[in-house]
Amino acid sequence: MIRSVDLICSRCGKSFVPKERLFYQDDFTAAPLKDTKFICDECMAKWHDRWKIKDAVFSERDYVLTVDITLEDGTRFEHLDATPIEETGTVVTGEDIPEEAAKDLFARWEKFAAEKEKKQIKDCFFEKKGEGYEVSFTTVGGEKHDHVPFSIKDGYLILEEDVDEDIMEGIVTAYKSYLSQETMLGTSESPAAASAARRKRPRPAWPGTGPDGKA
Average pLDDT of the chain is 82
State the pLDDT at residue 158.
87
Please tell me the distance from the alpha carbon of residue 207 to that of residue 215, in angstroms, as a whole number. 9
Task: Give the pairing of strands 53-61 and 156-159.
Answer: unpaired
The yes-or-no verdict on residue 178 having pLDDT over 90 is no
Residue 192 per-residue DSSP state: P
Give how far Cα 178 sits from Cα of 115, 127, 162, 182, 185, Å. Answer: 26, 10, 22, 6, 11
For 12-40, write each residue's pLDDT tens digit: 999 998 888 888 887 776 666 667 788 88
State the pLDDT at residue 212.
37
- Averaged pLDDT for residues 81-108: 95
State the pLDDT at residue 34.
65
Q: CA geometry: angle at 211 spanning 210 and 214, to 5°?
A: 45
The yes-or-no verdict on residue 89 having pLDDT over 60 is yes
For 57-77, write each residue's pLDDT tens digit: 999 987 899 999 999 999 999
State the pLDDT at residue 52.
96
State the pLDDT at residue 4.
64
